[in-house]
Amino acid sequence: MNEKHLFISGGSRGIGRAIVLSQARKGLTVFLNYLRDDESAETVKSEAQKQGARVVLLPGNVGDPETIVSLFEEIKKHTDRLDYLIHNAALGVFKPVHQLRVKDWDISLDVNAKAFLFLSQAALPLMKTHGGKILTLSSLGANHFTPNYGAIGISKAALENLVRYLAVELSPYQIHVNAVSGGLIETDSIKMFPEFETMKKEFLARTPGKRLGTPQDIANIITFLLSPGSNWIYGQTIVADGGYSLS
């Protein structure tokens, strides 16, 4: 059987969990990174292993470049190749841009954008001989003003531009780099957003899909982008928002 190896950051809950369980199968090893929720990580590991996957838990803050080095040193103890890298971890504060502190700015850029750069660099030696797929998660706030979302939205804009640069630079190695941007996805984290109920009503009123997105909606797009069927896609941010951005 052709074994595959996948790394995902932020893989213990929400969209990350849905991605892991969508991919879990016999012959796949998942290197599952998470920050601190051991219980959720162990639960996802158990569920994925029931589907036949092998799961290695890798706790750590990917916003710290030194932690990324340590994570990949651990990965190299298990394999000398990586087929897929998915950067799903995200962090940020909800407040107006003009009220951001240095710490608020740094957290968002470090976890949402800088981590993707250093994860990709760490993955390259494990991918460049055979190719692979590198994916990340963005949001509509990268291109559209959203109240109290500036720190995250700006970091996601940097992330999307990084996707384009990496896509061109890594294409000679048959490594495809792309992103997925969802609309309002119903997760525990989005419910922490200020005035979530008001935003939800507005989203439902404008969205042809007439519902919030689910983690599985995003996982389905990820599944396509990890497949050979996406091999003609380079450096794109695929918008899967139920049609919200059309109006």
Q: What is the pLDDT of residue 239?
A: 97
Section 87-103 average pLDDT: 95
Q: What is the pLDDT of residue 195?
A: 77
Q: SS3 letters for 98-125?
A: HHCCHHHHHHHHHHHHHHHHHHHHHHHH
Q: Does the pLDDT at position 102 exceed 90?
A: yes
Task: Say if residues 172 and 122 touch (Cβ distance below 8 Å).
Answer: no
Helix, strand, coil percent values for the chain (each to nearest 5): 50, 20, 30
Active site residues: 149, 156
Residue 187 confidence class, pLDDT cut points 50, 70, 90: confident
Q: What is the pLDDT of residue 119?
A: 98
Section 105-132 average pLDDT: 97
Section 128-136 average pLDDT: 97
Token pair listed for 9: 């950051």
Highest mean pLDDT among 7-16, 143-152, 193-202: 7-16
Q: Comparing C-alpha atoms, which of 165, 162, 106 is closest to residue 137?
A: 162
Average model confidence (pLDDT) for the chain? 95
Q: What is the pLDDT of residue 192?
A: 74
Q: Global pTM? A: 0.96
Rounded (5°) CA angle 101-105-107: 115
Q: Does the pLDDT at position 194 exceed 80?
A: no
Q: Comparing C-alpha atoms, which of 133, 84, 141 is closest to residue 112?
A: 141
Considering only the top CATH level, what class is 4-239? alpha beta
Q: Does the pLDDT at position 1 exceed 60?
A: no
Q: What is the pLDDT of residue 180?
A: 98
Q: Does the pLDDT at position 190 exceed 80?
A: no
**What is the per-residue DSSP string for 141-160?**
GGTS--TT-HHHHHHHHHHH
* 30-77: pLDDT as tens digits: 999 999 999 999 999 999 999 999 999 999 999 999 999 999 999 999
Q: What is the pLDDT of residue 118?
A: 98
Section 235-243 average pLDDT: 96
| 189 vs 187 pLDDT, higher one | 187
- pLDDT over 70, % of the chain: 100
Pairwise CA distance, residues 98 & 86, whole Å: 32
Residue 166 confidence class, pLDDT cut points 50, 70, 90: very high
Q: What is the pLDDT of residue 196?
A: 80
